[in-house]
Amino acid sequence: MGCQPSAAADSQLIVAISDHAAAFKYDGILIRPDGTVVRPLGLTWVSNYNANPVLLPGGKELLFLADSPALGSSAPHYAL
């Protein structure tokens, strides 16, 4: 599972994947550099198995891999 955190270009936010809230439901979480959690992102509506989050420049959009064959070509675009 891709669990390397990704920092926004301005280094004010970090995104990571965690199943801390619910076992085997890998959600994205926004974290401040001091380690405090800003908020969970609710990515498990896409898939329970999400990985490799990357914050795009500006810190308002996120790309991640979702293991969900049912999505096919209709993969969602997630904006923060």
Domain ranges of the chain: 1-59
The encoded tokens of residue 16 equal: 């990571």
**CA 2/CA 26 separation, integer angstroms:** 10
Q: pLDDT tens digits, residue range 36-73?
A: 888 888 877 777 778 788 888 877 888 888 776 665 55
This prediction has a pTM of 0.70
Whole-number pLDDT of residue 70 = 60
Beta bridge partners of 37: 31
DSSP string of 29-78, one letter each residue: EEE-TTS-EEEE--GGGT-S-EEEEEEPTTSSEEEEEE--GGGTT----E
Whole-number pLDDT of residue 7 = 84
Average pLDDT along the chain? 77
